[in-house]
Structure 1
Amino acid sequence: MKIWSISNQKGGVGKTTSVVSLGGLLADQGHRVLLVDLDPHGSLTSYFGQDPDGLERSLYHLFFEQRWRNVDYIRDTLKPTSLPNVSMLPATTSLATLERQVSGQDGMGLVLARSLAQLWDDYDYALLDTPPILGVLLVNALAACQQLVIPTQTEHLALKGLERMVHTLKMVMKSQKRELPYTIVPTLFDRRTSASLTSLKEMRRTYQGALWDEAIPVDTRLRDASHEGIFPHQLDPNTRGVRAYRHLLAQLSGEKR
């Protein structure tokens, strides 16, 4: 299983859209995909019609009574999506209380990695949708993943969040004594605005080598897909946003396009 974390310490930059878009395109290639919602807001969970306030089982419950050891429990927690070869490990709003409940307990930063290890042969890819806050959930994602994708809105304030995310990543790599490859992905790009153009230019100047050489454009069809609870390529495989995510996937996968 390949595990990618889609993370940024700022909200509204396109993390959930990136998880769904990349996951759907991987499934379209025939891969078995697991989407994991680590955000207490449950945007990914809501995307596929589940209620983060009403679920009896979620990622939250794996942190207690060593349920992460029970592969049947984990499998029973998974929810379907609009594609048969894509499943979702949902979030509940209870995740917002997790930091307080597990504070000081050993091993809480590895619960997700251990849970995914139980499903290792079930899926080809796991994509993690993370909260915009440094805490036990983001630590779990960074500990579990092999590759990090950092969506960053092409807007001045988003650059501050990107700076914090890269700083956090360097701290985690130092503490874990391992390198974690990462790709910064400009999102919500609108070439008609000076804000987008200036921000993209600043990203290229500051993060040369780590920055994807394209950008995900503003595309209302991505929002339309979320309203219908389907993957964007199911709604329109040739929309600008889907084409851009297809190019990004080719680079992340090391494929030639």
Structure 2
Amino acid sequence: MRIWAVANQKGGVGKTTSVVTLGGLLAERGKRVLVVDLDPHGSLTSWFGYDPDTIAHSVFDLFQHQGKVPDGLPAQLITETSCKGLSLLPASTALATLERRMVGVEGMGLIVSRALAQLWDDFDYVLLDNTPSLGVLMVNALAAAQHLIIPVQTEFLAIKGLERMLHTLEMVMRSQKNPLPYLIVPTMFDRRTQASVKSLNLLRKTYPDRLWRFAVPVDTKFRDASQAGVIPSAVDRESHGIRAYRHLLDELLARTESAEVR
């Protein structure tokens, strides 16, 4: 099992779109994929037609056992999606109450790791969609992940949010023995606007060794896919955005395989 977290401390930068698109492309390649919604807003859950306000069982259930994960519970929480080979561990809005509920409970930062350990032989890839705020959910994701993907919208305020995310990553990684490799992914790029072009150039200048060399363009097919409750490549396999994510997936697979060889 390979575990990728998709995170940024700014909302609206393409985290959920990245999870759904990459997960769908992996499933199309015959991989067994699990996408996990760790955001109380439940955008990933809503994408596939489930209501995070009313869903009966969700990721929230994992956090109700004093830092332990009962045998078999993670598998019971998984539901299918409209894409063959792509499964979902949904979120509920109750996740927003975790911080105050879990005060003083030991081991809460490792719940997701323990849950995925039970699913290790069931999936080839797990993609974690994160809340845009630092807390127990993001700590869980960073602790579980083997690789971090940081989508960054190509606009100035999003780049400032990237600085906060990298500071958080550095702070969390101090408590772990091995650093978490990460890749910054420019998103929502519009070559017609000067602001977008300048932002991309700034990213390339500031993070030359950590930045994906391409960018995901603005593409209305992502919105169409979310409205239809399907993976974006099911709407248009050759749209500009899908082609970009296909190139990104190839890059991520190459990086992951290279890291495993070392």
Query: TM-score when scaled to structure 2?
Result: 0.95
Aligned-residue identity in percent: 60
Q: Sort the Cα spacing of 1:32 and 1:71 in 2 relative to 1 into closer, same or farther, 3 A.
A: farther
Q: CA–CA distance in 2 between the matches of 1:153 and 1:162?
A: 9
Q: Does 1:165 align with 2:165?
A: yes
Q: Which residue of 1 aligns with 2:228?
A: 228
Q: Which residue of 2 aligns with 1:117?
A: 117
Q: Which residue of 1 aligns with 2:147?
A: 147
Shift of residue 66 of structure 1? 5.5
List aligned pairs for 1:106-255, cutoff 5 A. 106-254=106-254
CA contact (8 A) 1:68 1:74 kept: no
Shift of residue 69 of structure 1? 3.1
Q: CA–CA distance in 1 between the matches of 2:130 and 2:204?
A: 25
Q: CA–CA distance in 2 between the matches of 1:200 and 1:174?
A: 29
The one-letter code of the counterpart of 1:3 is I
Q: Does 1:2 align with 2:2?
A: yes
Q: CA–CA distance in 1 between the matches of 2:82 and 2:253?
A: 23
Q: Per-residue displacement from partner, 1:144-170 (whole Å, max 9, x unpaired)?
A: 000000000000000111000011111
Identify which range, 237-246 or 77-86, moves more after superposition.
Answer: 77-86
The one-letter code of the counterpart of 2:182 is Y
- RMSD between aligned residues: 1.3
Shift of residue 105 of structure 1? 1.0
Shift of residue 72 of structure 1? 2.7
Q: Name structure 2 gaps, 5 residues minimum.
A: 258-262
Q: Name structure 1 gaps, 5 residues minimum.
A: none
Shift of residue 90 of structure 1? 0.3
Q: Which residue of 1 aligns with 2:40?
A: 40
Query: TM-score when scaled to structure 1?
Result: 0.97
Shift of residue 52 of structure 1? 0.3
> What is the aligned residue count?
256
Q: Which residue of 2 aligns with 1:99?
A: 99
List aligned pairs for 1:23-62, cutoff 5 A. 23-62=23-62
Any idea what SS the aligned residue of 2:115 has?
helix
Any idea what SS the aligned residue of 1:186 has?
strand
Q: Per-residue displacement from partner, 1:18-54 (whole Å, max 9, x unpaired)?
A: 0000000000110000000000000000000001011
The one-letter code of the counterpart of 2:171 is M
